[in-house]
Amino acid sequence: MRDIRLEEVPFEFDGKRYLLRCNMNVLADVQEAYGGSIGEALDGKNPLKSVTEFLAAMLNDYADEQGWPERWTAKQVGRKLSPRQIPKAEIMSLVTRAIVPPSDDNENVPTADTTENQAGPGNSGN
């Protein structure tokens, strides 16, 4: 059985220990930052902007959960950290693992095609 808990990665930022994780709140915040298109954040065309947006959203979500007043923009995160301090691969891996099901689960995940064929017009799905 697969562990469904959110993956967490500890991260020190501005004197505090955060737990980075990619949940629905993080995805929604990044989607909003990209004008409604989460795909733009994931397409790889602007990786530094994407990683700072995801990192800021993860920091803000954890701060909110802890009741901390801090809130960060991607620009503020980018100003506080050098490129070598931002764990780009780790952050984007968290995002990828949160939204892409493991390959052995792909067989059980309905696609738009199979869902439409099963319950499409004139078909009760039986």
> Residue-wise over 17-36: b if at least 16 C-beta within 10 A, else e?
ebbbbbeebbbebbbebbee
Average pLDDT by consecutive 10-residue portion of the chain (126 residues)? Answer: 81 96 97 96 94 97 98 96 88 92 55 36 40
Tell me what pLDDT residue 80 has.
95
- Other beta carbons within 10 angstroms of residue 87's beta carbon come to 16
Tell me what pLDDT residue 108 has.
47
Three-class secondary structure assignment of 104-124: HHHHHCCCHHHHHHHHCCCCC
Alpha carbons within 13 angstroms on the beta-carbon side of residue 42 total: 15
Tell me what pLDDT residue 109 has.
42
Name the pTM for this structure. 0.78
Query: Do residues 18 and 62 lie in contact, with contact meaning Cβ atoms separated by under 8 Å?
Result: yes
Distance CA 30, CA 54 (A): 6
